[in-house]
C-alpha cells in the first residue's frame, strides 16, 4: 500500500467536456453549411475555407511563439475562427485576401487582446470588417450560384437578394416572392451571398446539433432571429424574406453565440440576442449597408461587459 496519493481541492470528478471537445463540436456543426457552400458556389469556395483555416492555425502558432505564451493551437479555436471567416467571405474572393483576413483575425483581433477568452470582438466578424474596409470591391463581388461541384467559376457578378432590395423598388421583388421556387431557393441557399451564409437549412442543421449537444444556449439564436422576424413585420417588410437572406442564420447560430464575445448570464443573453436582431433590422432598413448582421454583432460585442455587469443574477438568499 506504499504509494503516492494525489491531494487536491474538491471536486475530484469532472465533466468530460473540455474546450477542445466544444470546438470540435462547433467544427462538426459547421460542416453542413460548408458542403452546401462548396456545392452551390464551386470548388474555389473550398480553397477559400482551407486557406483561412491553414493561415489561422499557422498565425496562431507563430504569434504565440513570438509573444512567448503557452501554445494553444490544440484547442482548435483557430480552426473555428478560420472556418467562420471563410463562411462570411464572398465565394470569388482571391485567396491572398482570405489569407490576410485569417492572419488579421488571429493576430490582431484575438491574440493581441490576450488570446482565447480575452478578445472583445468576434475574430471572424472583426476580420471581415477589416477586409471590407480594405478591399471593398472584392468583398462585395458575389458570384451566381454554380450548383455544380466542379464547374468553372462563372465570374458574372450577381447581386445578393438584399442588394436587390436596397437598389430597386421593393414592390418588384415582392411579386417574385409569391413564387414558391424563389422561397425554395432561398432556404436551400441557391442565391448570391457569402460562402457559408446562404444555405439556411444547412446552418439550421448545425445549429440544432449544437443545441442538442448543449454547446450553445437557445437564448441568443432564438431571440436574434425572432427579433428580426417581428421587427421586419412591424416595419412593414416581409419577415420571412428578412430572416432567410443575408447572414441572419449564420450570425445567430454561430457568430452571436461565440462564448467569448457574448454575455454569460441568461438574462444578458436574451438582451444580447434581441438588440443584435434589432440592429440588423435598423441597418438593413435605414442604414447605408444592405446587410447588417456583421456590424450588429460587432456593436453588441462592445456592450457585453456592460450587459454582464447589469444582469448579474440575484444571489440565493439576497
Partner 1 sequence: MRTFSGGIHPPQSKNTKDKPIEKADLPKKVVIPLQQHSGCQAEPVVSVGDMVKTGQKIGEAKAFISANIHSSITGKIESIKKGLSPILRDGWCITIEGDGTDEWVTSQKNDLDKLSPEEIRQKIKDAGIVGLGGAGFPTHVKLCPPCNTKVDTVIINGAECESYLTCDNRLMIERTNEIIEGLEIIKKAVGAKNGYIAIEDNKPKAIEKVKSAVKGSDKVFVLKTKYPQGAEKQLIKVILSREVPSCKLPLDVGVVVDNVGTAVAVRNAVLENKPLVERVITVCGSGISTERNLLVRIGTSFKDIIDQCGGFKKDVWKVIMGGPMMGLSQFSLDIPVIKGTSGILAMTLDERPDLRERNCIRCGRCVAVCPMHLMPNMLGLYSARFMMNEGFKYNPEDCIECGSCAYVCPAKIPLVQLIRFVKGKKLEHLRCKSELLNRK
Nearer to partner 1 (CB atom), residue 117 or residue 136: 117
Q: Which is nearer to partner 1, 162 or 274 (CB)?
A: 274
If the CB atoms of residues 44 and 269 are measured against partner 1, the closer one turns out to be 269
Q: Which residues are within 8 A (CB) of 303 and not within 5 positions of it... i.e. 6 or more apart?
A: 272, 275
- Nearest approach in angstroms of CB 184 to partner 1 is 37
Tell me whether residue 191 or residue 269 sits nearer to partner 1 (CB atom). 269
Backbone angles phi, psi at 140, to 5 degrees: -120, 20
* Residue 20 or 148 with smaller CB distance to partner 1: 20
Pick the closer one to partner 1 by CB: 37 or 263: 263
Tell the burial category of 317 from Cβ atoms under 10 Å away from its Cβ (0-12, 13-18, 19+). exposed
Distance, in Å, from the CA atom of 26 to the CA atom of 150, rounded to the nearest integer, reads: 27
**Nearest distance from C-beta of residue 268 to partner 1, angstroms:** 9
Q: How far apart are CA 289 and CA 104, in angstroms?
A: 23
Interface with partner 1 (CB under 8 A): 1, 3, 5-19, 21-22, 72, 75, 77, 114-118, 217, 259-260, 262-266, 269, 312-318
CA 66, chain centre distance (Å): 28
Closer residue to partner 1, CB minimum distance, 116 or 203? 116
Count the neighbouring beta carbons within 10 Å of the beta carbon of residue 122.
Answer: 30
**Which CB, 10 or 178, lies closer to partner 1?**
10
Cα three-residue angle 253-225-309, rounded to 5 degrees: 75
Q: Residue 85: CB partners within 8 Å, gap ≥ 6?
A: 52, 56, 98, 101, 102, 105, 123, 124, 127, 128
Amino acid at each position: 500500500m506504499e504509494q503516492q496519493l494525489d491531494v487536491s481541492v474538491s471536486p475530484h470528478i469532472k465533466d468530460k467536456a473540455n474546450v477542445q471537445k466544444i470546438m470540435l463540436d462547433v467544427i462538426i456543426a459547421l460542416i453542413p453549411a460548408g458542403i452546401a457552400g462548396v456545392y452551390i458556389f464551386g470548388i474555389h469556395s473550398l480553397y477559400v475555407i482551407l486557406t483561412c483555416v491553414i493561415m489561422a492555425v499557422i498565425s496562431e502558432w507563430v504569434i504565440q511563439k513570438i509573444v512567448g505564451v503557452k501554445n494553444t493551437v490544440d484547442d482548435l479555436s483557430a480552426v473555428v475562427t478560420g472556418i467562420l471567416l471563410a463562411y462570411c467571405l464572398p465565394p470569388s474572393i482571391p485567396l491572398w485576401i482570405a489569407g490576410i483576413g485569417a492572419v488579421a483575425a488571429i493576430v490582431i483581433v484575438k491574440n493581441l487582446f490576450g488570446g482565447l477568452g480575452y478578445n472583445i470582438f468576434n475574430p471572424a466578424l472583426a476580420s471581415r470588417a477589416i477586409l471590407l474596409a480594405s478591399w471593398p470591391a472584392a468583398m462585395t463581388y458575389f458570384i451566381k450560384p454554380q450548383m455544380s461541384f466542379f464547374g468553372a467559376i462563372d465570374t458574372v457578378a450577381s447581386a445578393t437578394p438584399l442588394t436587390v432590395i436596397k437598389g430597386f423598388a421593393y414592390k418588384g421583388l415582392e411579386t417574385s416572392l409569391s413564387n414558391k421556387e424563389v422561397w425554395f431557393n432561398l432556404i436551400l441557399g441557391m442565391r448570391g451571398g457569402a460562402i457559408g451564409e446562404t444555405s439556411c437549412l444547412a446552418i439550421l442543421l448545425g445549429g440544432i446539433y449544437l443545441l442538442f449537444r448543449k454547446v450553445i444556449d437557445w437564448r441568443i439564436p432564438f431571440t436574434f432571429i425572432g427579433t428580426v422576424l417581428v421587427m421586419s413585420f412591424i416595419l412593414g417588410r416581409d419577415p420571412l424574406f428578412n430572416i432567410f437572406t443575408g447572414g441572419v442564420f449564420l450570425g445567430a447560430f454561430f457568430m452571436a453565440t461565440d462564448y467569448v464575445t457574448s454575455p454569460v448570464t441568461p438574462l444578458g443573453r436574451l438582451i444580447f440576442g434581441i438588440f443584435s436582431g434589432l440592429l440588423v433590422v435598423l441597418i438593413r432598413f435605414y442604414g447605408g449597408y444592405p446587410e447588417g448582421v456583421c456590424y450588429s454583432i460587432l456593436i453588441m460585442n462592445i456592450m457585453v461587459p456592460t450587459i454582464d455587469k447589469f444582469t448579474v443574477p440575484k444571489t440565493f438568499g439576497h
